[in-house]
Chain A
Amino acid sequence: NLTQTSIDNFFGRT
């Protein structure tokens, strides 16, 4: 089973 990750898990908020 695969889980779709979120882009904000990788790129921090400025």
Chain B
Amino acid sequence: MFEARLIQGGLLKKLLESVKELVTDANFDCSESGIALQAMDNSHVALVSLLLRSEGFDPYRCDRGFSLGVNLNSLNKILKCAGNDDIITLRADDNSADSLSLSFENPNNDRIGEYELKLMDIDQEHLSIPETDYDATIIMPSAEFQRICRDLTVVSESVTIDVSKDTIKFTAEGELGSGNIKLKSTSSIDKPEESVNIELGQDVSLQFSLKYLMNFTKGTPLSEQVILCLSEKMPLLVEYKMDIGYIRYYLAPKIGD
């Protein structure tokens, strides 16, 4: 038996919005510790990994580990039927888990919607993500990162990210011209969520597809801050932390011939 009741149901709605364009089908791996999902996009360029810890639910019950194979587009359609303030409960019977039950309670508890989502068998590759000491870790406002990606998409399909000392620089070059945005590290004690924090072991310069980065920024509503982790010749990690877990996107770099 699996049961997970999320008081902040709106979070699940936002979470689905942040993965559904990257991944079509995925397994939700449920265990005592929580709900996890790991999936690559069709072209194997990006990987998304998310975790919702069991402590974030009230209550959370999962007798033994099992996987719920879900078409994310279908789940997203059903979640659109939940109000932003609804409490969302997910239920599945592990013996015959061919469907996932969802119930949506409004805050007054006088309207309850109940839905069933058919599950599917998904044979998914699982990758082991190595523990990495990144050369550069940047914490910055998530809205700023979203704006930079959106703005530079006007110029090019790819962006070079250079991190050195106290500056992160995003550069795009395309047929119409070029553009770059430099952010200096700042510290705002009053508003830490508005500051740019750069932790640097050594300088990094890497190129990435803006199309994928734009997709990752669908996670912006989940957190005021985004964490970017870079190392030479390694995938970029873009992370949005939530109270109850995280969503991490990994993007393979573009490398010169």
Contact = CB atoms under 8 A, between A and B. Distances in A.
B225 interface: no
Looking at chain A's contact residues, the main secondary structure is mixed
Given A6-B44, A7-B44, A13 B128 contact: yes
Interface string A1-14: 11111111111111
A2 B207 CA distance: 9
A14 to B, nearest CB: 5
B235 to A, nearest CB: 5
Contact of A12 (B127, B158, B252): B127
A8 B253 contact: no
Interface residues of B, number: 25
Nearest to A8: B44
Contacts of A10: 234-235, 252
Contacts of B252: 4-7, 9-10
Contacts of A7: 40, 44-47, 127, 235, 250-252
19 contacts: A1-B256, A2-B158, A3-B255, A3-B257, A4-B45, A4-B252, A7-B40, A7-B45, A7-B47, A7-B235, A7-B251, A8-B125, A9-B252, A10-B252, A11-B47, A11-B130, A12-B128, A12-B130, A13-B125
Interface of A: 1-14
Which 6 pairs show the lowest CB-CB distances between chains A and B? A11-B127, A2-B254, A5-B252, A6-B44, A7-B252, A14-B126
